[in-house]
Structure 1
Amino acid sequence: MTINWKKIIKAAVAVASVAALTLSAVNFKPATANADSNSSSVSAIKKRGVLRVATFGDLPPYGWVNKDGKRVGYDVALARRMAKDMGVKVKFIQVNANNRVDTLNSNKADIVLANFTETPERKNVVDWAKPYMKVSVGVVSPKNKKITKLSQLNGKQLIVTKGTTAENYFTSKQKSVSLLKFDSKTQQFNALKNGRGAALADDNSYLYAWVKRNPKYTVGIKSVGPHQYIAPAVKKGNKSLLNWTNSEITKLNKQSFFTDDYNKELKPYFGSEVKPSDIVLKQGN
C-alpha cells in the first residue's frame, strides 16, 4: 500500500489552520466593555432590575452606614435617585479608595459613586461621566500643632489613604514629605488621632466635615494643587451607561438636585464655613 504523504500533509495543515482560527476566536477578549452586551449596559441593568453602585461605607457625609444600619450620604442619595430614574432598584457595593477601579473591571459594580476624583491616570482605566462636585486636596492637623504650610511637613509623617488624589499628589509633587499610607478612611483618621503622623491629607470636601465632628483638629491648609472634580465612573468602553449618566447629570443639574442634596447631606456637616458654591458645580459645568 502506497502512502500519499502530500495529501496527508495538506490535510494536516488545513486542520491546523481551522484549529488556530477557532482558538483565536475563543481567546480574544475585548479590553473594554461592549455597550450592548456587557452586564453593565443600560439594557442589561434594566433587565436585571438592579443598578449596582460602588460607594464608601465609612465616609460621612458622602457614603456611610448610620446608627440604624441604613446607607446614607451625598453620593448615596445620588445613587438612589439614578436608580429611581432608571426604573430599577439599587444595590450598594462597599469599596475602599484603592479598589474602586478593580470593582468596576471585575464587574462587581456598574458604576462608581465614591467621591471619585478625575485624574489623567484614572482616565486611562475608567470612563468619566460629567462631574458633579469640585474639590482640592487639604491638610488637617491638631490645633495645638497646626500645620499651615507645606514646608512644615518636611521630615514629618503625613497620613494618606492608598489610591487617593492626596497620595498621588504628594508622591509626585512633594517628594520630601514622608507618607504613612492606610487602606481605609477609618484607619487613616484613627492614625491621626493616635498621633502616628503630624497631619493628614485628603479631599478638603470631607476634611471640613471631619473637623466639625473633631474640634481638636483644623484644616490648616485648605487647598493644595489645582481644583479637581468628582464624577461618576463606569467601565472603560461602556458607552451605554456613560451616555445615560451624562444625560442624568444634566437633568439633575437643571432640577437643582445637587444643591438640594448639599443642603440635606453636606450642610449639617460643613456648617457655615463652607458654601454650596465651594462644592457644587454650577449648571452647565
Structure 2
Amino acid sequence: MSPESLFRRALLLATLSTAFFSAHADTLDNIRAARKIRVSIDLAVPPSGMTDANMKPTGSDYDVAVLLAKDLGVALEVVPTVGATRIPNLQTGKADLIISTLAWTPERAKVVDYSIPYAPQISLVGGVKSLNVKSMADLAGKSVAVNRSTTQDKDLTENAKGANVVRYDDDAGVITAVVTGQADLVGTSSALFKTMQEKAPQRQLEQKFVLRLNDLGIGVRKDDPKLLAWVNDWVKKNHANGKLNEIFKKYHGTDIPKDVVEKWVAAK
C-alpha cells in the first residue's frame, strides 16, 4: 500500500473515531434531538420488570424509566434485556441507559458508570424449610439456582465453597426451577423470592440468609459525563420529592429506608 493510501486510511480512521467518541460524549444532546430515550430493562424480573395481562411492560424499573423520560421531555423506548445483556446493550449503542436492577460491583464499575442509587435491593439465599442452611458454609454439597451474570452468581461462585451453582439464562427460568421443584435453594433478590413464595406456597420457601444489600444505579456509558450529571440531578430531585419512594412502595410493599434516602440525596 502506498504512503498516500496509508495516509488516507489513517485520516478516515481518525475521522470515524472522532465521530464515534463525539456521539458518545453528546448522548444527552442526541437523545433530546431524537426526542426518544432507549432504556434497557429486564421484563422478567417481577416486581421490578414484568409484563401485565395485556403483555404491556410494567414494574418499578419500568415506572422509573417512564418518569425519567417524562421529565426529560422525550418518548421512552424499552430495549428488552436479560441480566447478561444489560451492559452489552449499553456498550454497543443499542440502549442509552440501563434501568434494570443493576447493582453496583467493582467489576461493572470498570465498564459502565453508575448514577446515584435510585433504589435498594436485598440479595439473599432462600429455599425449602426442611433444609438447614444458615450460611455460605452450609451450602457445601448442595445445588443453588441463580440467574447467570448477577451479583448472586458472583457471590456464590466466589464464596460458597463446595456448592454446585446452577445457572439459568434469566430470572424467569430461576423462578420456574424453584416453583416446580427443580431447585430447592436459590440465590436471588428479596422481591423475586417473594414472587416464588407466592407462586408456590406448598413448597414452604423461607429466607435462609442475606448475601448483601445492593445499591441499584442507573447505568451510563463510560465517558458520558453530561448525561451522567443530568441523571444524578434527576435521581436526587426525585428522592427529595418522594416520587422514587412512591414507585418503590407501590411494587415492593415498603418504603425505601429514610436514612438510605438521606445518604443518597447528600451524595455528590
Matches within 5 A, 1:259-274: 259-267=245-253
For residue 241 of structure 1, what is the amino acid of its counterpart? L
Give the equivalent residue in structure 1 for 2:164: 178
Give the equivalent residue in structure 1 for 2:208: 221
1:202 counterpart = 2:202: no
- Structure 2 length as normaliser, TM-score? 0.88
Instruction: Please give the per-residue CA displacement for 1:42-86, whole angstroms capped at 9, x wherever unaligned.
Output: 111111111111101111111111102221111111100110011
8 Å CA contact 2:144–2:166 kept in 1: the answer is yes
Instruction: Please give the per-residue CA displacement for 1:15-45, whole angstroms capped at 9, x wherever unaligned.
Output: 51x43333233335659973x5239711111
Give the equivalent residue in structure 2 for 1:230: 216
- Distance in 1 (CA, whole Å) between partners of 2:217 and 2:100 is 9
* Structure 2 counterpart SS, 1:58: coil
- Distance in 1 (CA, whole Å) between partners of 2:52 and 2:142 is 35
Give the equivalent residue in structure 1 for 2:257: 277
Report how many aligned residue pairs link the two structures: 263
Mean Cα displacement is larger for which, 18-27 or 112-121?
18-27
Mean Cα displacement is larger for which, 54-63 or 275-284?
275-284
8 Å CA contact 2:83–2:147 kept in 1: the answer is yes
Provide structure 2 residue ranges, at least 5 long, that are not aligned to the other structure.
none
- Distance in 2 (CA, whole Å) between partners of 1:31 and 1:144 is 60
- Distance in 2 (CA, whole Å) between partners of 1:58 and 1:88 is 25
RMSD in angstroms over aligned alpha carbons? 2.6
1:243 counterpart = 2:224: no
- Distance in 1 (CA, whole Å) between partners of 2:82 and 2:223 is 23
Larger radius of gyration: 1
- Structure 1 length as normaliser, TM-score? 0.83
Provide structure 1 residue ranges, at least 5 long, that are not aligned to the other structure.
1-11, 268-273
- Distance in 1 (CA, whole Å) between partners of 2:196 and 2:26 is 34
Instruction: Please give the per-residue CA displacement for 1:249-282, whole angstroms capped at 9, x wherever unaligned.
Output: 0111111112111222221xxxxxx553299633
1:103 counterpart = 2:89: yes
Give the equivalent residue in structure 1 for 2:143: 157
Classify 1:222/1:258 alpha carbon distance in 2 versus 1 (closer, same or farther; 3 Å): farther
* Structure 2 counterpart SS, 1:223: strand
How many angstroms does 1:150 deviate by?
Answer: 2.7
How many angstroms does 1:146 deviate by?
Answer: 5.7
Classify 1:56/1:217 alpha carbon distance in 2 versus 1 (closer, same or farther; 3 Å): farther
8 Å CA contact 2:249–2:255 kept in 1: the answer is no
Classify 1:175/1:249 alpha carbon distance in 2 versus 1 (closer, same or farther; 3 Å): same
Instruction: Please give the per-residue CA displacement for 1:220-266, whole angstroms capped at 9, x wherever unaligned.
Output: 22412x43211000111122211110111011111111211122222
How many angstroms does 1:213 deviate by?
Answer: 4.1
Give the equivalent residue in structure 2 for 1:7: none
8 Å CA contact 1:137–1:166 kept in 2: the answer is yes
- Distance in 2 (CA, whole Å) between partners of 1:164 and 1:47 is 34
Give the equivalent residue in structure 2 for 1:192: 178
- Distance in 2 (CA, whole Å) between partners of 1:197 and 1:209 is 15
Instruction: Please give the per-residue CA displacement for 1:170-223, whole angstroms capped at 9, x wherever unaligned.
Output: 112223211110101111111223333330101234323442443334342241
8 Å CA contact 1:83–1:89 kept in 2: the answer is yes
- Distance in 2 (CA, whole Å) between partners of 1:235 and 1:200 is 31
How many angstroms does 1:124 deviate by?
Answer: 1.0
8 Å CA contact 1:60–1:206 kept in 2: the answer is yes
Give the equivalent residue in structure 2 for 1:6: none
8 Å CA contact 2:119–2:248 kept in 1: the answer is no
